[in-house]
Amino acid sequence: MKPVVKRFIFIVVILGLWELGSRMGLWAELILPSPTNVAIALFDGIQNMTLIYDLVASFRRLAIGLVIALVIGTGIGVLIAKSKTADDTIGSMLLAFQSVPSIVWLPLAMMWFGLNDKAVIFVVVLGGTFVMALNVRTGIKNVSPLYIRAAQTMGSKGIDLFIRVVFPASIPYFVTGTRLAWAFAWRALIAGELLTTGPGLGYTLRYASDFGNMSLVIGVMIIIGVIGAIVDQLIFQRIEKSVARRWGL
Amino acid sequence: MFVSINQLNKQFLDKDEKPTTVLKDIDLQIEKGEFVSILGPSGCGKSTLLSIVAGLTEATSGDIIVDGTTVKKPGKDRGMVFQQAALFPWINVLENVMFPLKKEMAKEEAEAQAKKYLQMVQLGNYLNHYPHELSGGMQQRVAIARALAMNPETLLMDEPFGALDEQTRTRLHGQLEDIWLETKKTILFVTHSISESIKLSDRIIVMGTRPGIVLTDIKVDLPRPRDQHKEEMLAIEEKIMRYLKKEIDKVVSEELSHEASR
Ligand SMILES: Nc1ncnc2c1ncn2[C@@H]1O[C@H](COP(=O)(O)OP(=O)(O)OP(=O)(O)O)[C@@H](O)[C@H]1O
Ligand SMILES: [Mg+2]
């Protein structure tokens, strides 16, 4: 049996048991609403556009935050890969920053930017920047000396060497860095939205919870999970695989 | 002399920061258009010597003059082929060969030149392939085309066929000989295969190890193609063997005494 088929059957069985349990009244609707009610809540949300607005608002913050994170992360990564002093100072701090969930910055961010988009975007930026920087640094440091020597014998040096050899040689690490930055940014985004104002997926999640609309809570959770899985598996893992194959890793 | 290596010494610092001499007083004169092999046991400093000629490694003392200028840094007048093909995996075969040409000529011209040399190594049909789609022998031929494409006067080759199987190697020997006869490059060819060096070169520099020195300089004065002169080749092979036997015995006994002293 193909893995896809197995996965499909598995999900159908889970949903079936879940629906059955709800129908038999094994648990209260407020504790765990039935799959049908979740589906209805999702359908309603999409039909009256509220979930669509949430999605658009969330993705806007994510896109802005992620782009900024990738740009700054690449900049820092190149800097600490090239300068020993920068690596000894900034580089050693990155690991410390990276080990702190970026949502802890939200209280500070709200003081600086107010209770709005900017505070959430700030948290998203922090979520993605450090992994990106660390991966770019590793990528640049791991460029095979053979490539560099070969390029030097062909008259390449300095900035030309960096643009035409060092940078493309470390693309596999850029891709991994981007995938991880996305994953951290996505988590930071939802956490940030839970604690600020809407519209946004995280905001709607908390709003629904405050009003005891558990069907919508689970509906939004499913949206968040599905988007995360799709982006990671369908986009990033494919790119990563094809890059790794061509780069001979 | 076209390539002139004078009193060259190279020391590396080992892990206790103590200098160890890898190359000692190397003197070597090479004429324009000569095919010279550098032969020696593993670790005698062949790669280091070639790398210094390429300008990739700095000598501790002594100097190297190529075509009237002292070697200080790498340059396009000296093309290099490494044991691993060192092709760039993110660009295709044609773009790899065009790599050294990008700055000095227009795109069409660079393309034409790259194609010419790819045809010379019989890979005219693989322009759009990526390195990972080629066999090891094909990759090495692309690397040779890439070095030739910038039209260097000198070609430095560090065991270019070392990682290939016997049949592929024999075929590439033929192709390299043809290319050399056609382009009249000065070739410095590092190898540890005695038969390879006899088959290809005008002169064989036999090196000894610890420290790396020139043991002897053997002229191979046989008409090409040399497959028809098996006996003469065998005689030269035996002569070289005698030189190298002493070296290899030396390495073995040194390693044994090193083991014992631990
Ligand atoms: N960067 C370096 N730092 C320290 N020692 C080095 C360095 N490069 C080479 N050596 C030493 O110099 C010696 C000669 O190395 P080299 O690679 O030139 O040998 P080789 O003759 O090319 O050997 P092989 O036939 O195995 O390729 C070796 O003992 C090696 O350990
Ligand atoms: Mg070597």
Kindly indicate the confidence band of residue A185, based on its pLDDT and cuts at 50, 70 and 90.
very high
Q: Is the CB of B24 under 6 A from ligand 1?
A: no
Q: Does B108 map to a domain?
A: yes
Q: Are strands B3-13 and B61-66 parallel, antiparallel or unpaired?
A: antiparallel
Q: Does B174 map to a domain?
A: no
Ligand 1 binding pocket mutation candidate from B26, B42, B48, B84 (most atoms within 8 A of CB): B48
Question: Which residues pair with residue B20 across a beta bridge?
Answer: B12
Is residue B262 predicted with pLDDT exceeding 60? no
Give the Cα separation of A42 and A40 in Å (integer).
5
Sign of the CA dihedral with B47 first, then B52, B54, and B55 last:
positive
Give the Cα separation of A67 and A238 in Å (integer).
20
B82 part of contact set with chain A, CB < 8 Å: yes
Residue owning tokens 């104002």: A197
Residue B72 and residue B96 in one domain? no
How many folded domains does chain B comprise? 2
Q: Kindly determine whether residue A155 and residue B131, on different chains, have CB atoms separated by under 8 Å.
A: no
Q: Kindly determine whether residue A247 and residue B86, on different chains, have CB atoms separated by under 8 Å.
A: no
Alpha-helical (H) ranges within B80-220 are: 93-98, 107-120, 136-149, 166-183, 194-200
User: CA-based Rg of chain B, rounded to a whole angstrom?
Assistant: 19
Domain that holds residue B204: 1-77+154-160+186-254
User: Residue range A83-88: average pLDDT?
Assistant: 87
Q: Does B213 map to a domain?
A: yes
Q: Which of residues 111-140 of B touch A (CB under 8 A)?
A: 130-132
Residue B133 and residue B91 in one domain? yes
Q: Does B259 map to a domain?
A: no
| Run of H or E including B59 | none
Distance (angstroms) between ligand 1 centre and the Cα of B67 equals 27
**Span of A107-121, B160-174, B176-190 with lowest mean pLDDT:** B160-174
Residue B43 and residue B99 in one domain? no
Which has more confidence, B211 or B38? Answer: B38
User: Residue range B190-202: average pLDDT?
Assistant: 86
B56 part of contact set with chain A, CB < 8 Å: yes
SS3 B203: strand
Q: Does B170 map to a domain?
A: no
Ligand 1 binding pocket mutation candidate from B9, B18, B42, B47 (most atoms within 8 A of CB): B47
Sign of the CA dihedral with A193 first, then A197, A203, and A209 last:
positive
Q: Does B5 map to a domain?
A: yes
Q: Averaging pLDDT over each range in A66-80, B105-119, B154-168, which range is the top one? A: A66-80
SS3 A29: coil
Kindly indicate the confidence band of residue B162, based on its pLDDT and cuts at 50, 70 and 90.
confident
Q: Does B217 map to a domain?
A: yes
CATH of domain A33-246: 1.10.3720.10
Q: What is the CATH number of the domain that holds B218?
A: 3.40.50.300
| Run of H or E including B127 | none
pLDDT of residue B260: 63
How does pLDDT run across B236-252, given as a tens digit for each residue?
788 778 877 777 777 67
**C-alpha closest to that of B99 among B79, B123, B119:** B79
How does pLDDT run across B49-94, given as a tens digit for each residue?
999 998 888 888 888 888 888 878 888 889 899 988 899 999 999 9
The structure tokens listed for A142 are: 């791991």
pLDDT, chain B, mean: 84
Q: Does B180 map to a domain?
A: no
- What DSSP line would sit under A192-227, residue for residue? HHHTS-SSSHHHHHHHHHHTT-HHHHHHHHHHHHHH
Residue B70 and residue B108 in one domain? no
Kindly indicate the confidence band of residue A140, based on its pLDDT and cuts at 50, 70 and 90.
very high
Q: Is the CB of B44 under 6 A from ligand 1?
A: yes
Q: Count the neighbouring beta carbons within 10 Å of the beta carbon of residue A133.
A: 29
Distance (angstroms) between ligand 2 centre and the Cα of B153 equals 22
Q: Is the CB of B20 under 6 A from ligand 1?
A: no
| Run of H or E including B209 | none
Distance (angstroms) between ligand 1 centre and the Cα of B12 equals 9
pLDDT of residue A249: 67
Give the Cα separation of A204 and A45 in Å (integer).
10
pLDDT of residue B259: 66
Kindly indicate the confidence band of residue A76, based on its pLDDT and cuts at 50, 70 and 90.
very high
Question: Which residues pair with residue B28 across a beta bridge?
Answer: B5
List strands edge to edge, sheet with B213-219. Answer: B78-81, B154-158, B186-191, B35-39, B203-208, B213-219
Q: Count the neighbouring beta carbons within 10 Å of the beta carbon of residue A236.
A: 17
Phi first, then psi: give them for residue B186, nearest 5 degrees: -85, 125
SS3 A98: helix
Q: Count the neighbouring beta carbons within 10 Å of the beta carbon of residue B26.
A: 24
Is residue A17 predicted with pLDDT exceeding 90? yes
Give the Cα separation of A247 and A241 in Å (integer).
10
Do B160 and B148 meet the contact criterion of CB atoms below 8 Å apart?
no
**C-alpha closest to that of B7 among B74, B66, B70, B60:** B60
Angle of the B107-120 helix axis to the B136-149 helix axis, nearest 10: 130
- Which of B108, B124, B151 terminates a domain? The answer is B151
Chain A contact set for B100 (CB, 8 A): 154-156
